């Protein structure tokens, strides 16, 4: 995006975004403790395949029920699991499993564990059985404090998901987004289920375009606190930040390279918005290509050698791809007259973007090999798509019932989740990387 909080780019919006001299007051900025408001999750739809699994309450400590509930909620949200009741089960990590009995209940898989607490340290010994093959499928031990219990639950859910589906789970990853309450903007990070939110930055001025570093330790974003958009990079653990790009005109749309050594940014220092690359410390600025019209919203391809981006060089906003070394651009999207905000899947096979169809802004996905397109959402005002790090889901912002919320859709379009804040508008989402 250029300088608007919306990801949609209209011809008027392009030029309005470039107008300098937006009047801003002094910013109020600080790193704050955990936010009180949690995002509420609502889900609909199921996957084409659902794996029947029972999750027994973890035995040995009252917290065992809480951990099991978090795991159940994770697997349910994926739409790929059907929960079988484990009522009455009293299983420890060492309990022999009567596989046939659980299959009679309808559970092809069973997760169970022992949990104990000693001096504030919790230990979880988790097991996963395959009741069809009559064998243990997984088993591992976790340790941590009470505040780590939710994280450990997400990690167990990730292991269950991967052992059964063969695809790495994303329950222990994080998301970032901007929450607006009145005239205050907050850059927040949260668990992938919207829980455990933390404020990274609070300001009286707009914050847009957050982007995770590949190691998950930093966020780049655009802040308007200096009477114009400036790109900052902030270290999450310390809150320390610095202006990566503060050139004449607009500085916007940061995107990290896969190795974390560079970022692509959009600058209007030479009168019109164009794409540049810059080293992660702010040095080595380089213009990627020259275009007579606006180029914006760059994203690196997973191999780091190319960028996908939005441009109106063909007369209307469409998505293009360019080699970073050569600067030669080729058009990628051809369905519809308005396609913006590209996001490329981790395996580079699919491209997600915002498309305008019949007056509604919807999330679409295009196969990069065949060019085939699938409309994943119905609109009317969906924007800012971001792939999960396993490529199985897409996070985006949406307006539903007059409220601005976050939503998640599976890449086959069958499963949907909404993450809504109890107060305020939540927008500009981006899904964080795997971190371990």
Kindly report the number of other CB atoms within 10 A of residue 199's CB atom: 16
Specify which residues 306 forms β-bridges with.
Answer: 323
Strands in 145-183 per DSSP E? 174-181
How do residues 252-303 score in pLDDT, each as one tens digit? 999 999 999 999 999 999 889 999 999 999 999 999 998 888 999 999 999 9
Q: What is the pLDDT of residue 400?
A: 85
Cis peptide bond N-terminal to 223, omega within 30: no
Q: What is the spatial distance between Cα 302 and Cα 402, in angstroms, rounded to a whole number?
A: 36
The conformation of residue 87, written as its DSSP 8-state character, comes to T
Give me the CATH code for the 11-27+173-431 domain, please.
2.120.10.30
Yes or no: say if 216 and 170 are a contact pair by the CB < 8 Å rule. no
Nearest to 339 by CA among 323, 360, 316, 358: 316
Cis peptide bond N-terminal to 247, omega within 30: no
Q: Which residues of the chain fall short of a pLDDT of 70?
A: 1-48, 421-422
Q: What is the spatial distance between Cα 417 and Cα 175, in angstroms, rounded to a whole number?
A: 14
Q: Which two tokens stand for residue 75?
A: 């697997």
pTM for this entry? 0.88
Nearest to 429 by CA among 200, 224, 187: 187
CATH number of this structure's domain 49-165, picked from the four choices 3.40.50.10070, 3.30.420.40, 3.40.50.300, 3.90.1640.10: 3.40.50.10070
Q: What is the spatial distance between Cα 249 and Cα 304, in angstroms, rounded to a whole number?
A: 27
Q: Structural domain boundaries of the chain?
A: 11-27+173-431, 49-165
How do residues 100-150 score in pLDDT, each as one tens digit? 999 999 999 999 999 999 998 999 999 999 999 999 999 999 999 999 999
């Amino acid at each position: 995006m250029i300088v608007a909080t919306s990801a949609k780019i209209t011809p008027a919006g392009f030029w309005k975004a470039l107008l300098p001299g937006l009047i801003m007051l002094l910013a109020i900025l600080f790193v704050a403790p955990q936010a009180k408001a949690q995002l509420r999750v609502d889900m609909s739809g199921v996957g084409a395949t659902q794996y029947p699994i029972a999750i027994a309450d973890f035995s040995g400590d009252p917290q065992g029920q809480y951990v099991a509930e978090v795991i159940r909620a994770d697997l349910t949200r994926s739409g790929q699991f059907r929960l079988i009741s484990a009522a009455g089960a009293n299983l420890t990590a060492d309990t022999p499993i009567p596989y046939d009995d659980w299959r009679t209940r309808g559970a092809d898989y069973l997760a169970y564990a022992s949990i104990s607490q000693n001096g504030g340290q919790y230990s979880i010994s988790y097991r996963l059985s395959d009741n069809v093959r009559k064998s243990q499928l997984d088993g591992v031990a976790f340790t941590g404090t009470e505040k780590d219990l939710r994280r450990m639950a997400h990690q167990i859910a990730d292991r269950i998901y991967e052992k059964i589906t063969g695809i790495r789970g994303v329950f222990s990853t994080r998301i970032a987004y901007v929450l607006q309450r009145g005239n205050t903007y907050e850059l927040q990070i949260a668990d992938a289920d919207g829980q455990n939110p933390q404020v990274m930055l609070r300001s009286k001025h707009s914050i847009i375009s957050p982007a995770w570093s590949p190691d998950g330790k930093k966020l780049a974003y655009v802040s308007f606190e200096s009477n114009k958009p400036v790109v900052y990079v902030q270290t999450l653990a310390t809150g320390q930040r610095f202006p990566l790009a503060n050139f004449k005109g607009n500085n916007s749309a940061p995107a990290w390279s896969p190795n974390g050594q560079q970022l692509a940014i959009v600058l209007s220092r030479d009168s019109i918005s164009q794409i540049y690359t810059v080293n992660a410390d702010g040095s080595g600025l380089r213009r990627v290509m020259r275009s007579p019209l606006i180029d914006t919203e760059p994203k690196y391809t997973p191999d780091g050698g190319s960028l996908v981006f939005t441009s109106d060089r063909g007369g209307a906003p469409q998505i293009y791809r360019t080699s970073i070394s050569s600067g030669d651009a080729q058009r990628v999207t051809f369905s519809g007259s308005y396609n913006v905000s590209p996001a490329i899947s981790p395996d580079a096979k699919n491209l997600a973007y915002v498309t305008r169809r019949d007056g509604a802004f919807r999330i679409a996905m295009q196969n990069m090999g065949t060019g085939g397109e699938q409309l994943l959402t119905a609109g009317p005002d969906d924007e800012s798509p971001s792939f999960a790090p396993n490529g199985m889901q897409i996070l985006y912002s949406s307006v539903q019932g007059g409220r601005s919320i976050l939503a998640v859709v599976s890449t086959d379009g069958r499963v949907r989740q909404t993450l809504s804040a109890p107060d305020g508008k939540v927008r500009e989402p981006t899904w964080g990387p795997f971190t371990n």
